[in-house]
Amino acid sequence: MMKSLTVICSDETLLVQEAVDAWRASARAQGFSEREVLDVEGRFNWAYLRDAQQSLSLFGDKKIIELRLPSGKPGKDGGDALKAMCANLSDEVCIILTLPRLDKAAKSSVWFKALQNHAEVIDINTVALPQLPRFIAERLKKNNQSASPAALQLMAQQFEGNLIAAHQEIQKLALLFPAGALSDDDIHKSVFNVARYDVFSLSEALLAGDVARVCRMLEGLRAEGESIVLVLWALTEDVRTLTALKVEVQNGGNIHHLMREKRVWGAREKVMPTAVNALTLPFLKNALARTAELDRLAKGLSKGDVWESTLQLASQIALRISKRT
């Protein structure tokens, strides 16, 4: 049985997003089908929270409210609104509030004490460097992979507590190597890849509409012996994300909400909205179909130059975006 109010406090973006995803899936499984997301930024009108909590679906659907307070400082109006929210909880509305790690003063505030009295409060601790090897090992295990203690320590030192970077590297290892034990040499080459080009930078160039850089990077990746499987994975993920965001925007949704769910962070977060606005849904659906064709080429199921075909698709996407930047 879901609690009416759950509060998550943490500075670990990746772990918070994963916790919210799991919470949302559980809520949906228990019949909470309607969803509303509120981001408390700038001059946020706290009346929106009251209205969201009180307005139920005409069809009797139970509602999820995701309330995000990245500053951790609601102010007087926000504090009063949070206390009122706690006083008006119901079984028809399930709320999750995400906060950063709070200091002692914030945890002593009246509004936070109200949350503690009515909510399940979850503190997600920062993964310190000594715990990072174990964190990486557990993530590798989910991909049916493993690494030696020395290799895990090497990765931990390289990422220095950056869980998003560690997550991306673990994804890359799953694509590049089969299930089983990874050799120290494979991990060393992957983690300390000093190549001038990488697929994550390629993604940034694509979304920024930098046609010349996209072409240069793809040629460089090919020359440096990068796996086409990894390149296609990055390109396909970008096209899928662009398509999902385009559908959301056309349906009147908030692009920034979905970007967080899709884990679009950093440099990609800045250029993604422009890219979405520049591309039409038919173009994106066609591009998605073409990535499936490229996958067959890479697997040897079709004839053709997979690198050349990838270059053509990527440059066409970047060119479309460049015309709107």
What was the pLDDT predicted at 98? 96
Report in angstroms the alpha-carbon separations of 119 from 38, 56, 267, 322.
18, 21, 35, 47
Question: What is the topology classification, in CATH, of domain 5-123?
Answer: Rossmann fold (3.40.50)
Residue 325 predicted with pLDDT over 80: no
What is the distance between the alpha carbons of residues 34 and 65, in angstroms, rounded to a whole number? 9
Question: pLDDT tens across 194-224, in order?
Answer: 556 788 889 999 999 999 999 999 998 898 8
- pLDDT (average), residues 10-18: 93
The CATH number corresponding to 199-322 among 1.10.10.10, 3.90.180.10, 1.20.272.10, 3.30.2320.80 equals 1.20.272.10
Question: pLDDT tens across 269-287, in order?
Answer: 889 999 999 999 999 999 9
Share of the chain above pLDDT 90, in %: 65
Q: Where are the domains of the chain?
A: 5-123, 129-191, 199-322
- pLDDT (average), residues 9-37: 93
Considering only 59-73, 86-100, 189-203, 307-321, which range has the smallest mean pLDDT?
Answer: 189-203
226 backbone dihedrals φ, ψ, rounded to 5°: -65, 150
What is the distance between the alpha carbons of residues 92 and 29, in angstroms, rounded to a whole number? 14
Tell me the CATH number for domain 129-191: 1.10.8.60
Report which of 168, 199, 173 is spatially closest to residue 186, judged by C-alpha positions: 173
Report which of 147, 172, 169 is spatially closest to residue 158, judged by C-alpha positions: 169
- pLDDT (average), residues 233-259: 90
What was the pLDDT predicted at 196? 61
